[in-house]
A and B are shown apart, each in its own frame.
Chain A
């Protein structure tokens, strides 16, 4: 049963520290999305990649957030330096782009708490 995996599942850190979240998309999927979920803002799209190339990262604060896909099996989302307002659940999703991604499959999320 193929699924998206994310590590770590939980992260507690102090303000100013670097945080790296990892995502392994479903094998064969060529599109990866990063979302952030908070009570106030709901689900927000931060960035997405197709065939490892960033297509849209307009939802991501550029000064502290960065997203990369070093290879087809790994996507990373990095926050440096982290701030308390970054506390949220971060979801990765993957899909297969054939004339547009029809369905996105979500990972279990990384719950981040910045103190």
Chain B
């Protein structure tokens, strides 16, 4: 079985400061890892993914995430947060070796960037 944990319900950060949103995962095989962002009253937008290769993945809007196999983590980061980054962020995992295409999502982390 695969699972994802986002330990923080909410992250508050001042504009211009670094932003980190934490995600840990559990899969029996090799993971595909994803980050999605959801703005109010909108669907989920794809930010970035890790499949293989470089552990540091760069995505949309200046976000990046680092895959750490030993810690089974895939934390999302942005060096300098903007007020417009305030949204709900979801981490998701798919087991590469598992049958089917099921994505398992974390519970989401609400990010509030204050001016």
A residues near B (Cβ < 8 Å) are 4, 6, 31, 33, 42-43, 45, 48, 50, 55-56, 91, 93, 95, 97, 100-109, 111
B residues near A (Cβ < 8 Å) are 32, 34, 36, 41-46, 49, 51, 90, 94, 96, 100-103, 105-108
On whether the beta carbons of B43 and A55 are closer than 8 Å, the reply is no
B103 cross-chain contacts in A, Cβ below 8 A: 33, 45, 104
Main SS at interface, chain B = loop
| Given the contacts A91-B44, A108-B42, A102 and B51 also touching, CB distance less than 8 Å | yes
On whether the beta carbons of B49 and A100 are closer than 8 Å, the reply is no
| Given the contacts A105-B46, A106-B43, A42 and B107 also touching, CB distance less than 8 Å | yes
Looking at the complex, which one of B51, B94, B96, B105 makes contact with A43 (CB distance below 8 Å)? B105
In the bound assembly, the distance between CA atoms of A106 and B94 in angstroms comes to 16
